[in-house]
Structure 1
């Protein structure tokens, strides 16, 4: 099969895929996957997605075999070097002008397959060896993309169409690498730079937007990366907001092309969620969930979001319904799902039935038993939940504002600032809990922890309600409790960061930087530390105006 026909069929398969015609897309790619690089990459992507969504060993194995075949097919089309050229390549840069269009595309497809294989390595075998192996493959992939960027500029292309499709892949690959590396904390970036990686946010964003504006075959992948960054990554890993207006523009265009596409319905829902339009968000999430049944694992993503939409609406029983769906259907983290369901039910307080109370005990007792280890390490949120599960029984089967604490830790408080009613609803619950704790006569060794938690949540909520002075008062009280806190040592550094962000909101730049640097350098070994370091990094980058990795 010639390159132009392969590109046309790959483009058709992408159209099928994003319109939920998954089997049509797979059937178009599969028959030629042993001899056409684009069909082989396409077929591997479907196997890879199935493995990532199901986490089932047979699908992981099938994806691994598909990717080995894909790399072998790509190698057949890559430029062959003579022994003299191979030796020369060690000391000089390759002469990309001598490449054909087919050889150039083979390099690009090879880089893409390497990236998928590296990511699969991380879930295939959760050992340190696999982690190192995966890291080396990602480095090889990054170098392949850098080679492709050089090919784009040096090759005398025989077809403009071929160049366009190649360029969209280079923009997507280099853009994604630059963007994602730039988000990592400084100490990680230094290590990656030593290993040959580099990350420049502006350059990455520019490449992705250019790829989105082009009509290349990977245009929709640039779109997915941009939407994922602005609507998910920005929200979870930083205190900043993505460019929602730009996402609105992208989604209007894409939803004309893929009106029933599960991914674009999901991103539309996510956009409304971040705007604080909870009823609209709920409607679009349900549309996304019900738009296809071929891959039910897609539904779990919507269930996760609907859980939090209903928490913000204070619809605790409805939220617990989606927590139950996740518990029944998803294989990602049973520990998190068990605890989340219990946390949501606990918000019902005196409204709990006796059977619900009994089920909470069972959920929290079971949560630590399902803790996973990846490369010998526990997941930070699972470790946090294990501590909270112990605490539940140590505190006479009670926890303070457990679902609101999770909302804060998943960075959902940012949405409170969009609508006063949302923030006010959460604020009233926090205030009521503070009064109840003050009225409590029994003394517990966790009194300082519980008081500090309610004050951190109150301060963070007040920040979103644009009441900085009251917020600072609460946060300073949390910091003052440092020596009395027994368990929840994370509360103090998180309060210090919130303080820094309030200073940043007020334009007190030097004080903001000092607070964030304080949290970064003077606190360690607390729960969810790396999560906070991501937010510190993005905050400092913005405040210092560092254009290289900001």
Structure 2
């Protein structure tokens, strides 16, 4: 019975990583077989006198089958998980079994992505951090552990891709652009999840390098940005929001005279909520602030500003304000945010900056204890 449960869990994980039809079918078949095994064992009172089938196999069939069909019917997951599923996953996450890590991963995905992207709630970052804390304590050296995970096996390349993604961001947070590029390049060549995002991310990282360092890679940044739009895809008939963002930004390179993006890797860092992570370390945040202020100076001294100049200035001010906020320099951060808002009519393309700046300013006022003002700005951001 436990072998059946463990084996079905592994195939479920494989199916959710690959979304290959054969893997989904294999996962569904083994789940049904595992459930039948649980039912047989649960009804055998001589062997398991105090345990029912639901005790032995707590996750209901609807949750498991819906999970496997997640690539097409992701919204169904939310409907099931919100009630019975969430409680079962929380119970599983607190255990010390083979399934606990799967429960933790599913809950993290729910609290940090599904609730926000699919609009089923506001997410629960406190719960997500509580789920992660035991693993942070057990695995403090994340970079080493990711490397060990990559070298541990070669069959499930999708696990490698998860590690590549995390390693890319670990190095990006530290502005180790050469190392970040290495993992972005691996994702471009190996992963099929979103070629548009991977290529854009790779080009954005290369844009942060010096001209000399860029030459050593042999890459053509302009050509990479021009590839992005042709790589877009749809999932269940819907565009991927981050792909749409990357495509729109990369269009600055489509003309005969491309207009360079300003600190694009840091902009994507914000898009993927990276500043919240970086903000926990003052030294890393200070380093990012230096890079942002350098970009600010270059924009200020630009002798031939392009039509994108106001947008670029507002982006730099918003990111600067974020760094200052995380460093506790709240008045300076407020000035940066208000400067963005006062430039609203000058923004021509990056209109997303206004609602996001309103939101960040609302969080700043909340941090200062002015909840009334915070609520007003956050409501305006909607």
Q: TM-score range by the shorter chain?
A: 0.7 to 0.9
TM superposition shift of 1:309 = 1.3
The 8 Å contact of residues 112 and 124 in structure 2, kept in 1 or not, is answered as no
How many angstroms apart in 1 are the aligned matches of 2:144 and 2:173? 15
Residues 407 and 242 of structure 1: CA distance in aligned 2, closer, same or farther (over 3 Å): farther
Asked if 1 retains the 8 angstrom alpha-carbon contact of 2:344 and 2:354, the reply is: yes
Q: 2:322 aligns with which of 441, 460, 469?
A: 460
> Which is worse superposed, 465-474 or 51-60?
51-60
Distance, in Å, in 2 between the alignment partners of 1:336 and 1:136 is: 26
Q: Which residue of 1 aligns with 2:158?
A: 297
For structure 1, the residue ranges without an aligned partner over 5 or more in a row are 1-5, 11-28, 30-38, 80-98, 146-172, 178-207, 256-267, 273-279, 521-550
Instruction: Give the match for residue 61 of structure 1.
Output: 25
Compute the displacement of 1:388 (Å). 0.9
Alignment check: 8 A CA contact 1:300 1:326 kept: yes
TM-score, length-scaled by structure 1: 0.59
Report whether the alignment pairs 1:343 with 2:204: yes
Q: What's 1:47 paired with?
A: 11
* Shift of residue 495, structure 1, vs aligned partner: 0.5
1:311-341 residue CA offsets vs partner (Å, 9 max, x unmatched): 1222111110010111122221111111100
How far is 1:284 from its partner?
2.7
User: What is the alpha-carbon root mean square deviation over aligned residues?
Assistant: 3.6
Deviation of 1:469 after TM superposition, in Å, equals 0.8
TM-score scaled by structure 2? 0.83
- 1:117 is aligned to 65
2:292 counterpart of 1:380: no
* Deviation of the 1:214 alpha carbon: 5.6
Q: Which of 298, 302, 307 is the aligned partner of 2:168?
A: 307
SS in 1 for 2:349: coil
Task: Tell whether 2:336 aligns with 1:474.
Answer: yes
Partner Cα separation in structure 1 for residue 111 and residue 82 of structure 2: 23
Matched length: 372
8 Å CA contact 2:6, 2:98 repeated in 1: no
Contact 1:453 1:491 in 2 (8 A): yes
Instruction: Please tell me whether residue 512 in structure 1 is matched to residue 370 in structure 2.
Output: no
Separation in 2, partners of 1:139, 1:240: 20
Post-superposition offset of 1:431: 0.9
> Greater relative contact order (Cα 8 A, min sep 6): structure 1 or 2?
1
Structure 1 residue 140, shift from structure 2 partner: 6.1
Largest Rg, 1 or 2 = 1
Residue 389 of structure 1 and its aligned partner are, at CA, apart by 1.2
Alpha-carbon deviation of 1:386?
A: 0.7
**Counterpart-to-counterpart distance in 2, 1:478 and 1:103:** 59
Per-residue CA deviation, residues 262-308 of structure 1 (Å, 9 max, x unaligned), is: xxxxxx2xxx4xxxxxxx33223222322333423212111111111
Q: Structure 1 residues 114 and 389 mapped into 2: Cα distance closer, same or farther (>3 Å)? A: same
